[in-house]
Amino acid sequence: MRIHCLLAGMLAATLPCSALAQQDTLREIERYRQLLQDGNPAELYEARGEELWKRERGPKNASLGRCDLGLGPGIVKGAYVRLPRYFADTDRVQDLESRLVTCMVTLQGFTTEEAKRNPFSGTGAPMITTDPFSGVGQRSVMTDLVAWIASESRGMRIAPPMSHPRERLAYEAGEKLFYYRAGPYDFGCVTCHGEEGKRIRLQNLPKMTNPKDAQRAFGTWPGYRVSEGELRSMQWRMWECIRQMRFPELEFASDASIALITYLAKKAEGGTLDAPSLKR
Amino acid sequence: MRPKTILALALCSTLVAGCATRTSDSEADRAVTEMVKTSFKTRGQASVDRLKQDEVQALCSKYKGEPPEDARRKIEKSQQTTLRYPGSGKMMGDWREGQRIAQSGAGRQFTDDPARPAGGSCYNCHQLAPQELSFGTIGPSLYQFGKLRGSSEAIQKYTYGKIYNSDAFSACSNMPRFGHNGVLTEEQITHLVALLLDPESPVNK
């Protein structure tokens, strides 16, 4: 307590009023986040996701129970923290979402188009009103599955494999995409995520080449976003950043999205997955 | 055309294409080129053409935002030639308008209405008027920008130019080339200059 008072006094003496007011704002935001940590609505998505994994769906009326997420058919525990990875059957590096598309097609008989439809949840009051995947109250099978599968890696170390040359290639391409500047604003991922301790407005920005920042950022997706009232996945995070960069739309489960996620996963290697998390 | 001419032409175009290829022809570069072609789609005003890089974007990508001295000089020199100042010679507009433009982060996203003018997104990255607490820190604080520098014609010109094309002054700047890229109009930029330099602007109080 005494230290607190002393600290406050020192701060008051050294900082102009606006800086003090801003510190209060930041502190309040942090307090709000902590208050929300109890009872994360992500649990509802996780429960639905587990049920959807087991439910018989699609033209083949099959469950996803035999889906191979990289650790063998049907093994979900620990799969998320070892993605993206190379899959011989598709001859592609895949992240969780693109792999789920594969399983929905091969096991359940959906078309690729059907499997990719509605990849992000909609909301009652969508923040991005023209988001094609957002309908009022629209649920997303993909988002629910991602929530549950990620939760089955909670507390585990992020360890994307890098032994296959294609995984290495995805990483290197992802790195180049991270630095790729284009569009009317000259933006690249690096514009916001290249320096330490920066903010956009009041939002803190992780520096993705800094392991600690990358681990925290990567390790907290998917997350339930209070501001949107929805659970958001890593694919959504890429899609949304790319939109804000003034680029054309990033295709869901595309190679560029997977390359970027591979790059970020490798940067976050060794961190602990703390997801689905709760976000502002 | 004689075979020799055709060969020469083919060689020429290969050379030109070779020059246009900015990085080494590595496997990762080829993968990126392919991804840029296949992983994005035009949506609303955000067409896939936006992924085509101009020389500055290509160099800044290649050097990861930190170009060596010769590339830096080359970029700044080429971008200096793009600077266009208001025909009227008047570079200071209305700081109140400037404040509105600085607050707005809209513009050029596929979710933005292309009929509406873009904002300057200034507060996303800079501190300006001290009353606005929600400011970003990607760029330096511009609080008291004019108070510290005055508002001489030279300072007005510098400020206008910096907003018009930041790469003319600092190669591979994080700041969009608002004028050069056609994001902000000449008039909008004069309002931002006023926000930064007018002694009555809250930035300089």
B114 interfacial to chain A (CB closer than 8 Å): no
Is A254–B35 a contact, with Cβ atoms under 8 angstroms apart?
yes
pLDDT of residue A19: 55
Chain A residues close to B57, C-beta within 8 Å: 181-182, 186
pLDDT of residue B25: 55
Chain B residues close to A169, C-beta within 8 Å: 27-28, 31
Do the Cβ atoms of A138 and A122 come closer than 8 Å? yes
Chain B residues close to A244, C-beta within 8 Å: 109
Is A169–B51 a contact, with Cβ atoms under 8 angstroms apart?
no
Is B124–A200 a contact, with Cβ atoms under 8 angstroms apart?
yes
pLDDT of residue B170: 98
Tokens of B50: 């936006």
pLDDT of residue B21: 40
- Give the whole-angstrom CA distance, residue B137 versus residue B115: 30
Which of B29, B50, B138 is closest, CB to CB, to A198? B138
pLDDT of residue A20: 59
B181-190: per-residue pLDDT in tens? Answer: 999 999 999 9
Task: Please state the domain extents for chain B.
Answer: 95-204
B31 interfacial to chain A (CB closer than 8 Å): yes
Domain limits for position A162: 42-279
Tell me what the mean pLDDT of segment B66-75 comes to: 98
Angle formed by the axes of helices A141-151 and A42-54, to 10°?
A: 100
- Name the one residue in this structure whose structure tokens are 């296949």: B38
B88: pLDDT strictly greater than 50 = yes
Which residue is closest to B41 within chain A, CA to CA? A249
Q: What is the mean pLDDT of chain B?
A: 91
- Give the whole-angstrom CA distance, residue B102 versus residue B105: 8
Domain count, chain A: 1
pLDDT of residue A21: 62
Q: What is the mean pLDDT of chain A?
A: 88
Which residue is closest to A204 within chain B, CA to CA? B136
- Whether A37 is in a domain gets the answer no
- Whether A257 is in a domain gets the answer yes
- Give the whole-angstrom CA distance, residue B11 versus residue B17: 10
- Whether A121 is in a domain gets the answer yes
Q: What ipTM was estimated for this complex?
A: 0.88
B20 vs B55 pLDDT, higher one: B55
A103 vs B4 pLDDT, higher one: A103
Query: What is the three-class DSSP state of B124?
Result: helix
B4 interfacial to chain A (CB closer than 8 Å): no
A10: pLDDT strictly greater than 70 = no
The answer to which of A89-98, A259-268, B10-19, B84-93 has the lowest mean pLDDT is: B10-19
Is B35–A259 a contact, with Cβ atoms under 8 angstroms apart?
yes
Which of A21, A190, A250 is closest, CB to CB, to B133? A21
pLDDT of residue A34: 72
Q: Are strands A230-232 and A223-225 parallel, antiparallel or unpaired?
A: antiparallel
The answer to which of A113-122, A125-134, B136-145, B168-177 has the lowest mean pLDDT is: A125-134
Candidates B23, B35, B79: best to mutate against A (most CBs of A within 10 A) is: B35
pLDDT of residue B130: 97
Q: What percent of chain B has pLDDT over 90?
A: 88
B121: pLDDT strictly greater than 80 = yes
- Whether A95 is in a domain gets the answer yes
pLDDT of residue A37: 66
A5 is an active site residue: no
- Give the whole-angstrom CA distance, residue A94 versus residue A102: 9
A107-156: per-residue pLDDT in tens? Answer: 999 999 999 988 888 744 433 434 444 444 578 899 999 999 999 999 99
Q: What percent of chain A has pLDDT over 70?
A: 84
CATH of the domain at A56: 1.10.760.10
pLDDT of residue A128: 40
- Residue A57 gets which letter from DSSP? B
Is B36–A180 a contact, with Cβ atoms under 8 angstroms apart?
yes
**At a CB cut-off of 8 Å and minimum separation 6, what does A106 contact?**
none
Candidates B37, B56, B133: best to mutate against A (most CBs of A within 10 A) is: B133
Nearest CA to A187 out of A146, A123, A264, A248 is that of: A248
Right CATH for B95-204 from 3.40.190.10, 3.30.420.40, 1.20.1740.10, 1.10.760.10: 1.10.760.10
pLDDT of residue B155: 98
Tallying the residues shown for chain B, one arrives at: 205
DSSP for B32-84, written as a single string: HHHHHHHSEE-BTTB-GGGGS--HHHHHHHHTTT---HHHHHHHHHHHHTT--
- Whether A4 is in a domain gets the answer no
Q: Can you give the C-alpha Rg of chain A in angstroms?
A: 20
A60: pLDDT strictly greater than 50 = yes
Tell me what the mean pLDDT of segment A77-91 comes to: 98
B177 interfacial to chain A (CB closer than 8 Å): yes
A171-188: per-residue pLDDT in tens? Answer: 999 999 999 999 999 999
pLDDT of residue A50: 97
Tell me what the mean pLDDT of segment A160-170 comes to: 97
